[in-house]
Amino acid sequence: MTTLADSVAWIGGHSVHVPDGPVALLLDRLGDYMYAVSAVLWVLVTAALLWAVFRRRAEGEDPNDPARERRMQRTVTLAVAASAAILFVFLFLSYDTSRAMTGRPAGEPLQIRVTGHQWWWEVEYRDSLPQHWATTANEIHVPVGRPVVFDFRSSDVNHSFWVPQLGGKRDLIPGQETSLWFRADTAGVYRGQCAEFCGYQHAKMAFEVIAEPPPRFAEWLVQQRDTAATPTDSLAQRGQLVFVTSPCVMCHSISGTTAGSRIGPDLTHIASRRTIAAGTLLNTQGNLFAWITDPQGLKPGTRMPATQLGPKDLAAVVAYLETLR
């Protein structure tokens, strides 16, 4: 079976230490200050402790000498004052970073709505013209250099949206509306993952952010707004028929067909996506076969049940899905 490793590597291995864009950069810099200061303080206090334990003691030294007690009082007071001062510096840095992060992004932001589901992400690009709306899943395309504002909902339990290299995380809480913004400055694929425990398959609730130069992004969006391609070859045609007459339609939608349920991910342009099953498997023919036959084996507990399709129907459906670019 093909795995994600066979495909492009994610930029920077989704580490917060390889930040991209203004938000993640600010956060990384704040982290660096705090690590450095903490490391120095840790070394100082540990050294003081070791010195206190191992210093040479004079013969007959009195552990309760009052003169020394006064000196210690001064030293301890000084140390406490210094700690408080350092904490104030941290506090200032923290507030300063917060302010810089939460300010409205410069430039006309792109608005994306993300809805959390157990265990996948629904992604909607809305527009003033409803026919320009586009819906996809588990893959978020963004234009390089333009701020993106997300507004989050959850359809079931709490989730948390997190792309370490692009910015912090935000919870998706039923009954609440939350939001977050970031900007990607380098083209490439970034990995994101659900961070709030959301049940059975929390571990396999990932997604990808694909940052593209604005013209490519615009092209992609136009293509995503289209209704699904009508299949031309006979196998795919049969696949479409099987699809719309099988239990698949109970959960999925493919625009331009009678499949219109929104319980599972929208499949209108499934073939254009890099992964399936929320960033779990690479979107290849073999993986599609495997997934449709045995989703519970690949992602135990997923809300998608195994489908009872015969081998011929299965092949047809896969062929059809592969035409949905």
Q: Which of 245, 270, 256, 264 is nearest to 305 (CA)?
A: 264
**H or E element in which residue 189 lies:** strand 188-193
Q: Which does 95 bind (CB under 5 to 8 A by kind): Cu ion, other proteins, none?
A: other proteins
Q: Which of residues 198-217 bind Cu ion (CB under 5 A)?
A: 198, 205
Q: Between 17 and 325, name the residue whose CB sits nearer to other proteins.
A: 17
- x/- mask, Cu ion, residues 131-170, rule CB under 5 A, reads ----------------------------x-----------
Q: How far is the CB of 264 from other proteins (least distance, A)?
A: 17
Closest distance to other proteins from the beta carbon of 279 (Å): 8
Q: How far apart are the first and last CA of the chain?
A: 22
What are the structure tokens assigned to 181, written together?
A: 């913004």
Smallest distance, Cu ion to C-beta of residue 225, A: 28
Nearer to other proteins, 221 or 290 (CB): 290
Could you tell me the two tokens for 227? Answer: 């209704």
Reduced to 3 states, what is the DSSP secondary structure of residue 32? helix
CB of 325 to other proteins, least distance (A): 25
Between 286 and 301, CB nearer to other proteins: 301
Least distance from other proteins to the Cβ atom of residue 297, Å = 11
Stretch that binds Cu ion, among 1-9, 192-200, 273-281, 294-302 (CB under 5 A): 192-200
**How far is 207 from 82, CA to CA, in rounded Å?**
45
Q: Is residue 316 a contact partner of residue 243, using CB atoms and an 8 Å limit?
A: no
Tell me which of other proteins, Cu ion, none is bound by residue 29, counting a contact when its beta carbon lies within the kind-specific cut-off of 5 to 8 angstroms. none
Q: Quote the tokens at residue 266.
A: 């929208």
Rounded distance between C-alpha atoms, residue 164 and residue 190, angstroms: 9
Nearer residue to Cu ion within complex by CB, 120 or 217: 120
Given 194, 210, 211, 248, the residue binding Cu ion (CB under 5 A): 194
What is the nearest approach in angstroms of other proteins to the Cβ of residue 96? 9
- What distance in Å separates the CA atoms of residue 115 and residue 278, rounded to the nearest whole number? 13
By C-alpha distance, which of 149, 184, 181, 147 is closest to 21? 184
Distance CA 54, CA 72 (A): 17
Nearer to Cu ion, 10 or 162 (CB): 162
Judged by beta carbon, residue 63 or residue 311, the one nearer other proteins is: 63
Grouping H, G, I as helix, E, B as strand and the rest as coil, residue 49 is helix
Packing angle, helices 234-245 and 311-323, rounded to 10: 100
Q: Please report how close the Cβ of residue 111 comes to other proteins at its closest, in angstroms.
A: 17
Closer residue to Cu ion in complex, CB, 119/220: 119
Question: Strand, helix or coil at 210?
Answer: strand
The site partner of 38 among Cu ion, other proteins, none (C-beta below 5 to 8 Å per kind) is: other proteins
